[in-house]
Amino acid sequence: MLKQNIMRRFLYIAILLLLPLISFSKVHTEGFSESEIPDAVFHRMEGKSYPKGCPIKRSELRYLRLMYVDGHGKVKEGEMVCNKAIAKDVLEIFEELYKHRYPIERIQLIDDFDANDERAMRANNSSSFCYRVVKGSKKLSAHARGMAVDINTLYNPCVRRYRSGRVVVQPSNALKYTKRKASFPYKIEWGDLAWRLFTSHGFKWGGAWRSVKDYQHFEK
């Protein structure tokens, strides 16, 4: 009896010790997981996507591991940081994109590009969190809170047209991809799988905006 009581206590203590680990990481299907931001990942973010004095709490963000298929049909593993409020949605969306082999060229933390949006977009990178303002304004981007996701950014540029006739394209080498009736890889358009999945989860598509056309952008 004494030995059984000791074993019960041992198991109880073991469960208590494991609970923080269980809550720390939420695994969905194989290759897809959500966790608080590990120290090693946060170290990569500091001074880049997470600059000194960033008012967004680390605890408000989540680190995701995602599987995806590139345009050549090769299976790859990516990583993304987003707000915890959309983490579940993002995981479910990317699980479906992966299941249907929707092509995505790369999913890396923007910190791999020193949090330089232009460089990341030129590389056709897909990402979420980066504390920054909207280009040409003082307004915080939805990415600053990790509440937006950009997909296949080179082939789905952000296009700003001014009354003067001036057109600004981001990334700057994506002018040919502003012709949305043309056929090219990685293109996001109304009604395609990415659009259906994001909008069904309550995201708004930047490609439907009036003043700016941000074809890569989904925000909530």
- In tens, the pLDDT along 114-172 reads 999 999 999 999 999 999 876 655 678 899 999 999 999 999 999 998 888 788 999 99
* Spatial separation of the C-alpha atoms in residues 161 and 165, rounded to whole Å: 7
Mean pLDDT across the chain: 89
- Backbone torsion region of residue 115, taken as left when φ is above 0, otherwise alpha when ψ lies between -120 and 50, otherwise beta: left
Nearest CA among 96, 45, 40 for reference residue 68: 96
Asked if residues 64 and 34 have their Cβ atoms less than 8 Å apart, the reply is yes
What's the CA gap between 176 and 173, in Å, rounded? 8
Residues 40, 70: contact at Cβ < 8 Å? Answer: no
What CA–CA distance (Å, rounded) separates 157 from 207? 9
Dihedral sign from CA coordinates of 87, 92, 96, 98: positive
Report d(CA 110, CA 132) in Å as an integer. 12
Q: Give the separation between CA 163 and CA 211, rounded to whole angstroms.
A: 10
Q: How many Cβ atoms from other residues are within 10 Å of residue 182's Cβ?
A: 9
Per-domain residue ranges of the chain: 24-219
**Can you tell me the distance from the alpha carbon of 156 to that of 73, in angstroms, rounded to the nearest whole number?**
20
- pLDDT number for residue 32: 96
Per-residue pLDDT of 187-206, as tens digits, reads 999 999 999 999 999 999 99
Q: What is the pLDDT of residues 26-37, one digit of tens each?
A: 556 788 999 999
Structural contact between residues 67 and 75, judged by C-beta atoms closer than 8 angstroms: yes
What's the rounded Cα separation, in Å, for the pair 158 and 176? 12
- Can you tell me the distance from the alpha carbon of 151 to that of 79, in angstroms, rounded to the nearest whole number? 13
Contact present, 213 and 159 (Cβ < 8 Å):
yes
